[in-house]
Amino acid sequence: MRRGVRIGVDVGRARVGVARCDLDGLLATPVETIQRADVDPVARLAAIAEELGAIEAVVGLPISLSGADTPSTQDARDMASALARSLPVRLVDERLSTVTASAGMRAAGRSSRQQRQSIDQAAAVVILQHALDSERTAGRAPGEVLTDGGAAAPMED
């Protein structure tokens, strides 16, 4: 397992959820929700990454259950590509991350209304934690790597 803080990113049309992990990559925790109407989300993500000394960003790629792109897939790819100009980015499959986050919040007694302000952060935690667990289990980092300028390297098995 590589050492270093990573940020997890759940890209939504209105909001972007952000999570982080500890230096040893054991546990993902929520950081903040970026309101896209209020600030440039890529600039804010780059600032968060710099503040935390992150070695990379793990961006959730919204893919349908059948494996096809969704209307949000290109938005996530575009944001990841722009962010790759500031730090390394990995695109990882985020299928059901929001569903998993919502179910966890419901189990903790939070209503849909209470979830609204933090569901994006919780989804980012799910995305990042899954990537960390996958790396620990497989012995290699997951996902599709975006290099400076957004060029994609093949997804690792």
- Could you tell me the residue ranges of all domains in the chain? 6-137
150 vs 59, more confident:
59
- CATH 3.40.50.300 is the classification of domain 6-137: no
Distance, CA of 102 to CA of 118 (rounded, Å)? 10
Backbone φ, ψ for residue 47 (5° rounding)? -65, -45
Question: What is the H or E stretch that residue 90 is in?
Answer: strand 89-93
Question: What is the H or E stretch that residue 124 is in?
Answer: helix 119-138
Task: Using the predicted structure, report yes or no on whether residue 134 has a pLDDT greater than 60.
Answer: yes
Name the band, by pLDDT with cuts 50, 70 and 90, for residue 97.
low
Name the band, by pLDDT with cuts 50, 70 and 90, for residue 37.
very high
- What percent of the chain has a predicted confidence (pLDDT) above 90? 63
86 SS3 class = coil
Lookup result for tokens 């960390």: 132
Q: What tokens does 29 get? A: 């925790």
10 vs 70, more confident:
10
152 SS3 class = strand
pLDDT in tens, 104-122: 656 666 555 555 667 889 8
